[in-house]
Each structure stands twice: as C-alpha cells, then as structure tokens.
Amino acid sequence: MCNFLESSQQLTYKILSLVNFYCYAAHMSFKANQIISYREMCNEEEQEQLQRGMNFEIRDGYSVVLMSVKLNAPYADRISEDGLTIYYEGHDVPGDKLKEYDQPATNPSGTYTQNGLFCHAIDQAKKTGDFPLARVYEKLQMGIWTYRGLFEMRDYTFVERGSRKVYEYVFTITEQKLREAEKHHAEKLIDLEQTRQIPGKVKLAVFKRDKGVCTQCGANDNLHFDHILPYSKGGTSLKEENIQLLCARHNLQKSASII
C-alpha cells in the first residue's frame, strides 16, 4: 500500500546522504583551477609531505592523487579533451628507473602496493556501484600546482607498454553526480563555473604569459585561472587567449559584475 511513499522517502534519504557525502568530500579550501603552492597542498591534506603520486585513502573517505602531463613527467598521465576523464598510470617497482619490470600490485611481503590498493577498491566498487573518490592535483611546474577536482575511480586496465605491463586507472569527475543531486536540492552545491576544466598545457602557457601574477594588480598570491569570456556565455577553456590569471579579489569583483 505505502510502497510508493516508502520508496520515495528512501529515495529522498538516498539523495540527501549522497549530497551530504559529496559535500563533505568536496569541502575544501581550493576551487578547481586555483593555483596553489606545494605547501598549501600539503596543508590542505594535513600532510607533512606529499611525495608519492598515489596516496590511497590517506584522508577519511578519499584518496589523494598527484599527476603531471608534462613531457618529462615520470608517468604517462593523460586527460581527455573535455577534462572530465583522467587516465592515470600506476607506479613502478621502487628504484625501477629503466622501467624494466611490470608494475606490481603486491609487495614482496604480499601486502598490496598502492597499485593493488587502487585496483582492489575499484573491484569492490564494481559490485556495489559506490566508487572510491580521489582528489586530484596537477603539477604545473616545480612548486606550482592546481587542484583538478574530486574524481571517482571508475576502472583500470593492465596494459602492455613497451616490453612490460603497467596499470592505467580511469578517473571521472564527480560533477555529473553533483549536478544530478543538485536537481533535487535547492541549494547550489558547487560553483560549476569554477569546475570547468582547463587543460594543463593551457594553464602552463597562461601562467608563463601572465608571469605568475594577477593581470589586474600584479599580486602573486591566491591566483585563479579565470575565463575572460565566461564558460556559461560560451567562452572556451581550451584556448589560452580566453584564460587569464586573476587574484582572489579581482576574481570576486569580476564574478560580482557579471551577476
């Protein structure tokens, strides 16, 4: 009789807990596309140092992943054109500078390596549909990072690369999920404008062109990548001509004047 009522209540509850969960995990000091120093990144994650790229569940409810798409980066990480999917390479046997060995899922002692921990969590998630989360940071150059956003770890493959095999993880941004939840929730959860993904190559070019300072006042702290023509008005994220560096103050001033 009251099946419908029950299930709609259950649904509301599910949506609310989803919203709460993502709010919790998504709550952080940085916005996507913000430029931060190495120290700011460590402080945000409450770590003395972040030296490894893969940090499985070092925080309650999510992992922290560091990546780089630069040509001389140690691993072949890639980002899709729209910025919503990251292909992240697993890590080598410690000291395997020549990249001779297959990337290991277990240590000699039999415990999981970071590769193994990620794979295991994804395998489990495929049964439950509850994919593990990762905050992704991208290195632009020495000491300079950006926050890429909160991603779901969706899948992995163990693929041939040269004469050996490596892990390749697939992370997708959770924005879609947030937007679904948002439809059922009056409050605006995230500033979608801020999550528009700007490719690393574009970020680096803009950072160099603007010499690492706000284009309005020359401040060199609290910088953001700003869309000159807003994404919502058809501005592109893919061309450096439409992106500039702004400090937090000028970034805010600009969003106020647009609204």
Instruction: Kindly write out the interface string for residues 64-103 of this chain, putting x where it contacts Zn ion by CB under 5 A and - elsewhere.
Output: ----------------------------------------
Smallest gap, in angstroms, from Cβ of residue 255 to Zn ion?
13
What is the identity of the amino acid at 69? V
Whole-angstrom Cα distance, residue 172 to residue 174? 6
Residue ranges with strand state E in the chain: 35-37, 54-59, 62-67, 78-79, 85-89, 133-141, 144-161, 164-173, 223-227, 243-247
Three-class secondary structure of residue 55 per DSSP: strand
Q: Which C-beta is closer to Zn ion: that of 140 or that of 247?
A: 247
Q: Which C-beta is closer to Zn ion: that of 35 or that of 69?
A: 35
Smallest gap, in angstroms, from Cβ of residue 35 to Zn ion?
13
Q: Which residues, 177 to 216, sit near Zn ion by CB under 5 A?
A: 214, 216
Q: Which C-beta is closer to Zn ion: that of 41 or that of 247?
A: 247
What is the identity of the amino acid at 12? T
Q: Find the Cα–Cα–Cα–Cα dihedral 178, 181, 187, 189, rounded to 10°.
A: -10
Smallest gap, in angstroms, from Cβ of residue 193 to Zn ion?
18
Q: Is residue 250 close enough to count as binding Zn ion by CB under 5 A?
A: yes
Q: Tokens representing 169?
A: 């993880």
What is the identity of the amino acid at 204? L
Interacting stretch for Zn ion, rule CB under 5 A, among 27-35, 58-66, 198-206, 217-225? Answer: 217-225
Q: What is the CA angle 28-197-139, rounded to 5? A: 70
Do residues 198 and 83 touch, judged by C-beta distance below 8 A?
Answer: yes
Q: Is residue 217 close enough to count as binding Zn ion by CB under 5 A?
A: yes
Smallest gap, in angstroms, from Cβ of residue 215 to Zn ion?
8
Beta-carbon contacts of 203 under 8 Å, excluding residues fewer than 6 positions away, are 33, 138, 140, 146, 225, 243
Q: Which C-beta is closer to Zn ion: that of 88 or that of 225?
A: 225
**Residues paired with 59 in a beta bridge:** 62
Q: Which C-beta is closer to Zn ion: that of 227 or that of 250?
A: 250
Interacting stretch for Zn ion, rule CB under 5 A, among 10-18, 119-127, 229-237, 242-250? Answer: 242-250
Q: What is the CA angle 114-115-116, rounded to 5? A: 90
Q: Which C-beta is closer to Zn ion: that of 47 or that of 216?
A: 216
Interacting stretch for Zn ion, rule CB under 5 A, among 83-91, 100-108, 151-159, 240-248? Answer: 240-248
Q: Tokens representing 2?
A: 């009251």
Q: Which C-beta is closer to Zn ion: that of 80 or that of 216?
A: 216
Q: Which C-beta is closer to Zn ion: that of 78 or that of 249?
A: 249
Whole-angstrom Cα distance, residue 76 to residue 162? 12
Interacting stretch for Zn ion, rule CB under 5 A, among 177-185, 188-196, 198-206, 249-257? Answer: 249-257
Size of the site for Zn ion (CB under 5 A): 6
What is the identity of the amino acid at 24? Y
State the residues that interact with Zn ion by CB under 5 A.
214, 216-217, 219, 247, 250
